[in-house]
Amino acid sequence: MRKILEEQIENLHQDFAKMGFDVAKSIENATNVFENHDEALAKKVLENDSAINESEIYLERKTAQVIALQQPVASDLRVLITILKASSDLERMGDHAVSIVHSTKRIDVNNRNQEIEDILVKMSKHVHKMLLDVIDAYVHNDEEKARSLAADDEVNDDYLRQVRRKALDAMQSDPKFVSAGPEYMVIATHFERMGDYVTNVSEWIVYTNTGRIVELGPTDSKRE
């Protein structure tokens, strides 16, 4: 019984990490779509998202099954609850990558603003790295690393504010940017939310380790 449970948990670990890498790929691809307005790649992000959704459903189904049949306790149960909960956080990040692709389509390609796009690409790379780090913290069950990621998320608020200000300035000084400007703001908001989801995953890593449900990020009331 015990051996079966261990094996099942090990498989779920791997599946969860794989889902995380799929989402990271989605973010990378969505960013390339944003930079290059590449329609073939845009299609790929949407296809990849279906796979991500299926992974979430698989993980939910499987963890529920293992909890029901094996009746795990203590740290085994905590691991399963973490996978059950944090799979939604990964899936949501994938949704935001899809939204970035849709947002990109609405940008007037003849009137792009390079300065703002550069900030958004930087922001994307930051979020992408945060996701890889949190998967790494998950795989190595590294509570300290998970906790440290919450601080990384603060940078995203700065990026968001920068994008917002520069997009407003651009629209005010030249009406040709009224197509791209709002989309830049929306895309920055998507990246910012992705950072929040990384923090959520971090919180579940802490839970796996300690059994305590904590809030690592700024409280939502301070969120923008």
Return residues touching its own copies (CB under 8 A): 46-47, 49-50, 53, 57, 60-61, 64, 67-68, 71, 73-74, 77-78, 81, 84-85, 88, 94-95, 98-99, 102, 106, 164, 167-168, 171-172, 175, 178-179, 181-182, 185-186, 189, 213, 215, 219-221, 223-224
Q: Which residue lies nearer to its own copies by CB, 35 or 169?
A: 169
Q: Which residue lies nearer to its own copies by CB, 125 or 141?
A: 141
CA distance linking residue 31 with residue 11, whole number of Å: 30
Q: Computed from CA positions of residues 76, 78, 81, 82, in that sequence, does the dihedral angle turn out positive or negative? A: negative
Min dist CB 216 to its own copies, Å, is 12
Going by C-beta distance under 8 Å and a sequence separation of 6 or more, which residues neighbour residue 54? Answer: none
12, 80 contact by CB (below 8 A): yes
Q: Which residue lies nearer to its own copies by CB, 80 or 149?
A: 80
39, 101 contact by CB (below 8 A): no
Q: Which residue lies nearer to its own copies by CB, 7 or 54?
A: 54
74's torsion region: left (phi>0), alpha (psi -120 to 50) or beta?
left
Q: Which residue lies nearer to its own copies by CB, 136 or 141?
A: 141
Min dist CB 135 to its own copies, Å, is 20
Q: 58-86 burial, b for 16+ CB within 10 Å, e for fewer?
A: ebbebbeebeeebebeeebebbbbbbbbb
Min dist CB 117 to its own copies, Å, is 16
Min dist CB 149 to its own copies, Å, is 19
In terms of C-beta density within 10 A (0-12 exposed, 13-18 middle, 19 or more buried), how is residue 145 classed? Answer: middle
Locate tokens 């998320």: which residue? Answer: 153
Q: Which residue lies nearer to its own copies by CB, 138 or 184?
A: 184
CA distance linking residue 27 with residue 128, whole number of Å: 7
Min dist CB 124 to its own copies, Å, is 18
Min dist CB 196 to its own copies, Å, is 8
